[in-house]
Structure 1
Amino acid sequence: METQKRPGGRSARVRDAVRQATLAELTLHGYSGLTVDNVAQRSGVHKTTVYRRWGSPEGLIADALELAENEPWPIPDTGSLDDDLRAITELVRTGFADPDAGPVASAFIAAAVQNSTAAEALRHFYAARHTQSAEVVRRAIARGNLPDTVDAEEVIRFAVAPIYYRLFITHEPVTTQDTLRAADAALAAARAGAI
């Protein structure tokens, strides 16, 4: 008989311990070095429990992304769409440059390229981030700074896409100037009614 999962109970504590261990292992070893055995050892959760509940490194990644979906993202509110969108693109750049968060985020993307379960989890994660970030565009629409036909989430995707392209396709360094240019291009497209 399957046990019920109680929020805040033992199940939640186990899930959090495994998630923290997964993130630590990703930081140290990347996606290719992530193993269920190492996560079990680091988390203090019995190996059979980890295998039964998560099954594989991809299951660990999918669960960590699911937990991250609803975590707050620091949405800027400067009163200016230009400044807000520039701040968002800069947050993406600095997030990947961060010595702790960057390797984890990169490992999530590497896993998604190689595994459909991880890809689905990453898609849901980014959909949630885009919805949260699009608040800056929705505010601008409400202020009358953009037409109400603009797709707020598409503006966010358009702004951050060049950063991901440089990081994961061409493997070029990303500078603050690059993030400003990406935000400004997205704003120009939104103002022209192209998105």
Structure 2
Amino acid sequence: MLDATLAELADGGYAGLTIDKVARRAGVHKTTVYRRWPNRERLVADVLGEHLTTDFPIPDTGSLADDLRALAQAFVAWVTSPPGRMIFTAIYSDAARFTEIDDVRRDLFEYGPRRAKLVVERAVARGELPVGTNPVAVIRTLIAPIYFQLTVVSEPVDEHTAEQAAGIALAAARAGVFHL
């Protein structure tokens, strides 16, 4: 049913999503869906949550610049993939007014930086960054230009966007901007 929900979101967005459509696509009766999910908001939150925990590989190239570049490229690849586009559309649609969906959006921007902070911690240990550098702040700064371009100015993102984001985060981190 989660795959059917994802397919329905991709086809018609959140506004067109109904439990009936999900059930039909999954080949089950709608009461089967309602036994597990009380409403479409909870169903969509579960689908989005499942896709947010997709593990990005955490690079370990021995170079902070290369690691940040790899993380930025992985994020751009994800947000431009069909599931990534669907998730961004859903969390910024009218669905976001529901607590369940708003929680998913918050998780999106906490989960990634928490996982990826290892890249910054390794760089500090290698002496590439000052001791006391806030790893989560560096990773959020890496994601921020990509996010801004996608959601605020509604422009496409690509490898060049990833390169710029990595450069911004690297320069700020090396300058000691993110000191705890």
- TM-score range normalised by the length of the shorter chain: 0.7 to 0.9
| 1:177 lines up with 2:160 in the alignment | yes
Q: How much has 1:69 moved relative to structure 2?
A: 4.6
Cα deviation 1:4-39 (Å, max 9, x = unaligned): xxxxxxxxxxxxxx2211211122222222222111
**What residue in structure 2 maps to residue 130 of structure 1?**
113
Q: How much has 1:126 moved relative to structure 2?
A: 3.0
Matches within 5 A, 1:2-17: none
Deviates more, 1:133-142 or 1:111-120: 111-120
| 1:110 lines up with 2:59 in the alignment | no
| 1:59 lines up with 2:46 in the alignment | no
How far apart, in 2, do the equivalents of 1:83 and 1:123 lie?
A: 27
TM-score (norm 1): 0.80
How far apart, in 1, do the equivalents of 2:126 and 2:20 lie?
A: 53
Deviates more, 1:47-56 or 1:136-145: 47-56
Matches within 5 A, 1:115-194: 115-194=98-177
Equivalent of residue 62 in structure 2, options 79, 99, 115: 79
Assess if the C-alpha contact under 8 Å between 1:130 and 1:156 holds in 2: yes
Assess if the C-alpha contact under 8 Å between 1:31 and 1:110 holds in 2: no
Q: How much has 1:155 moved relative to structure 2?
A: 0.9
The one-letter code matched in structure 1 to 2:90 is F
Q: How much has 1:170 moved relative to structure 2?
A: 0.7
Unpaired runs of at least 5, structure 2: none
Q: How much has 1:120 moved relative to structure 2?
A: 0.7
Unpaired runs of at least 5, structure 1: 1-17
Go from structure 1 to structure 2 and tell me whether the alpha carbon gap of 1:128 and 1:147 turns closer, same or farther (over 3 Å shift).
Answer: same
**What residue in structure 1 maps to residue 31 of structure 2?**
48
How far apart, in 1, do the equivalents of 2:155 and 2:177 lie?
A: 27
Go from structure 1 to structure 2 and tell me whether the alpha carbon gap of 1:75 and 1:69 turns closer, same or farther (over 3 Å shift).
Answer: same
**What residue in structure 2 maps to residue 13 of structure 1?**
none
Q: How much has 1:129 moved relative to structure 2?
A: 1.8
Go from structure 1 to structure 2 and tell me whether the alpha carbon gap of 1:127 and 1:143 turns closer, same or farther (over 3 Å shift).
Answer: same
Instruction: Name the % identity.
Output: 44
Assess if the C-alpha contact under 8 Å between 2:51 and 2:83 holds in 1: no
TM-score (norm 2): 0.86
How far apart, in 2, do the equivalents of 1:115 and 1:74 lie?
A: 31
Assess if the C-alpha contact under 8 Å between 1:68 and 1:125 holds in 2: no
- CA-based RMSD of the aligned residues comes to 2.0
How far apart, in 2, do the equivalents of 1:36 and 1:126 lie?
A: 28
Structure 1 residue ranges (4+ consecutive) displaced by more than 6 angstroms after TM superposition = none
Work out the number of aligned pairs and report it: 177
